Amino acid sequence: MTGQSGEMIQIKELLKRNPRGMSITEISSALHLHRNTAAKYLDTLKLRGDVDRKEIGTARNYFLVQRIPVSSLLAYWPAPLIICDLRLNTVMVTEGILSLLGCSLDVMYGVLIDEIPISLFKDPRIREICHNAVQGETETHTFRATIRKKEMRIRIQGIPVVFDTGRDGAALAFFDETGHQSTSRELDLLKQQYAALKTGQREYIAHLDNKLRITYINAPFATRTQRSGKQAEGLPFTSLFPAQILHEIEELLPEITIASQSASADLMMIRNDGTVGREQWDLRAIFDEQGGIAAYHATGRDITELYRCREQLEQYHKNFEELIEDRTRSLQEANRMLMATIREKEELERELLFIQFAFDHASDSILILNEEGRIIRANQTASTLLGYTTEELQALHVETINPSITKSIWKEMWVDGYPGKRMRTRSIHRMRNGRILHVDVSRTFVRFLDQMYFCSIARPLEEKDGNGDQTIPSHS
């Protein structure tokens, strides 16, 4: 160390102990230096940016300041810069400031800082920052401005500088915090949303470090563990479950990767009342910048009742399937019996059809009447013989077909009638066209389903024509 450098160190130490400043006379007297020698050292220190000089009245006081040489600042400072001289004129700018403000160099170079034709520089605080930096004082302000039709948040810091000529100056460093502010707002909103989510959450929430040690639990999980949040901090998450299922939790960890960031499992647990329960847990990893697992976010819920309901439902399904099998067998047996019954009915229907066919095509007219004397059935032979359709016959009464049977005679016949009573006689039938037929009639009383019916089977008698030949009456 030379004597000269040692003298300058002494001057800097002296000014450090006297922050209000000292004159050349006071410095030379305190260090026992010649006044001209002290002035030379002070000029050197000012040129290096270690001290600053202010004129207070007629005296020139020197202060210990940290001015940065402009050449060093431009070489190493990463932020966009505007360099101003002692009179606050812009003398240097960096490429970054032109990109940030979207202007060319001729707009700014050689112009007073507050006369730059950009709305941001109309704010008087910028001139104040620049002026204070020239005086050796650092100051920072944040501004909201519209630049290139974009709302921006810019922080401007004044930096005291010294030029290579030894003259004082100021540098304005610009920091674009637009993105940071937007990110900060989003982060605050997410924090509020997450806080609201935790407050209203009924499920269990636990934050775990990468060793599965608890760093946070919410109120429902604290109730489940019977520990406060502070008491649970640092506990292994696995200690809250029976020892025999720890391997189930350990098996979840290899499943969690960046491609598949979570894994789920249903875990057995011992409830506070001592009974065995089930919980469903989802373990989600939080990764650091290198892709390693920094922490885990675990969410769980008590599914004991759901688990029991599932078991009961499975049992119900099993019982239901057995019941279905029993019912199916019963239905199969019933179907078999039904098919047998259908076959029997088909045979009966064929027999009935045959009987109906024989009834309709019998050679004699057959009429079946009820106690009121109304015809309820008539065969095709009767229809052809009497000239009525079958439907028309079923609307007629006995006196229409046989005029010889009055209502009183009909009643007397029923008074003496009984099931199986038969009689044979000759009588008359009146055709639709009014012609009277003489018929041989076989009458029988029959009972069917507790109801008595009168069956009349008639055969036309032969008649002789004028030549003495026998004929059968026409049915037309």
Look at 426 and 67; give whichever has higher pLDDT. Answer: 426
Q: Which fold, 68-181?
A: Beta-Lactamase (3.30.450)
List all residues 6 or more positions away from 132 whose beta carbon is below 8 Å from its beta carbon.
Answer: 138, 139, 158, 170
Q: How far is CA 463 from the centre of its chain?
A: 99
pLDDT band at 466 (very low <50, low <70, confident <90, very high): very low
Give the sign of the dihedral formed by CA 11, CA 15, CA 18, CA 20: positive
Distance between CA atoms of residues 225 and 227, nearest Å: 5
Angle value at C-alpha 86, between 110 and 71, nearest 5 degrees? 80
pLDDT at site 49: 66
pLDDT beyond 80 at 97: yes
Pairing of strands 293-302, 204-209: antiparallel
Distance between CA atoms of residues 242 and 69, nearest Å: 68
Decide whether 3-64 matches 361-471 in CATH topology: no
Distance between CA atoms of residues 184 and 192, nearest Å: 12
Over the stretch 297-318, which tens digit does the pLDDT of each residue have? 999 998 888 888 988 898 999 9
Q: Which two tokens stand for residue 90?
A: 């812009």
Distance between CA atoms of residues 125 and 114, nearest Å: 10
The mean per-residue pLDDT over the stretch 12-17 comes to 82
Over the stretch 156-196, which tens digit does the pLDDT of each residue have? 999 998 888 878 899 999 999 888 877 888 888 888 877 77
Look at 474 and 449; give whichever has higher pLDDT. Answer: 449
pLDDT beyond 80 at 1: no
- Rounded to the nearest integer, the mean pLDDT of the chain is 86
pLDDT band at 463 (very low <50, low <70, confident <90, very high): low
pLDDT beyond 90 at 67: no
Distance between CA atoms of residues 414 and 253, nearest Å: 102
Residue 172: closest CA among 84, 45, 260: 84
- State the CATH architecture for 201-302: 2-Layer Sandwich (3.30)
Q: What are phi and psi of 57, to 5 degrees?
A: 70, -125
Q: Enter the pTM of the model.
A: 0.43
Q: Which two tokens stand for residue 102?
A: 């979207």
Over the stretch 105-143, which tens digit does the pLDDT of each residue have? 888 889 999 999 988 999 999 999 999 998 878 899 999
Residue range 3-64, CATH number: 1.10.10.10
The mean per-residue pLDDT over the stretch 66-79 comes to 85
pLDDT at site 83: 94
Q: How far is CA 7 from the centre of its chain?
A: 77
Percent of the chain surpassing pLDDT 90: 22
pLDDT band at 440 (very low <50, low <70, confident <90, very high): very high
Over the stretch 206-258, which tens digit does the pLDDT of each residue have? 999 999 999 999 888 888 888 888 898 999 998 888 888 888 888 888 888 88
- State the CATH architecture for 361-471: 2-Layer Sandwich (3.30)
Q: Which two tokens stand for residue 99?
A: 């990109």
Distance between CA atoms of residues 81 and 200, nearest Å: 49
Domain spans, the chain: 3-64, 68-181, 201-302, 303-360, 361-471
Can you say whether residue 212 is alpha, beta or left, with left for phi > 0 and alpha for psi between -120 and 50 degrees?
left
Residue 129: closest CA among 395, 409, 137, 466: 137
Percent of the chain surpassing pLDDT 70: 95
pLDDT at site 439: 92
Between the CA atoms of 415, 421, 425 and 428, what dihedral angle is there, to the nearest 10 degrees?
60
pLDDT beyond 60 at 457: yes
Q: Letter for the amino acid at 72?
A: S
Question: Secondary structure of the chain in the HEC alphabet?
Answer: CCHHHHHHHHHHHHHHHCCCCECHHHHHHHHCCCHHHHHHHHHHHHHHCCEEEEEECCEEEEEECCCEEHHHHHHHCCCCEEEECCCCEEEEECHHHHHHHCCCHHHHCCCEHHHCCCHHHHCHHHHHHHHHHHCCCCCEEEEEEEECCEEEEEEEEEEEEECCCCCEEEEEEEEECHHHHHHHHHHHHHHHHHHHHHHHCCCEEEEEECCCEEEEECHHHHHHHCCCHHHHCCCEHHHHCCHHHHHHHHHHHHHCCCCCCEEEEEEEEECCCCCEEEEEEEEEEEECCCCCEEEEEEEEEECHHHHHHHHHHHHHHHHHHHHHHHHHHHHHHHHHHHHHHHHHHHHHHHHHHHHHHHHHCCCCEEEEECCCCEEEEECHHHHHHHCCCHHHHCCCEHHHHCCCCCHHHHHHHHHCCCCCCEEEEEEEEECCCCCEEEEEEEEEEEEECCEEEEEEEEEECCEECCCCCEECCCCC
pLDDT at site 475: 37
Residue 472: closest CA among 439, 427, 433, 430: 439
Q: Which of 35-49, 87-101, 369-383, 424-438 has the lowest mean pLDDT?
A: 35-49
Residue 78: closest CA among 176, 178, 181: 176
Over the stretch 362-408, which tens digit does the pLDDT of each residue have? 888 999 999 888 999 998 998 898 999 988 888 899 999 999 888 88
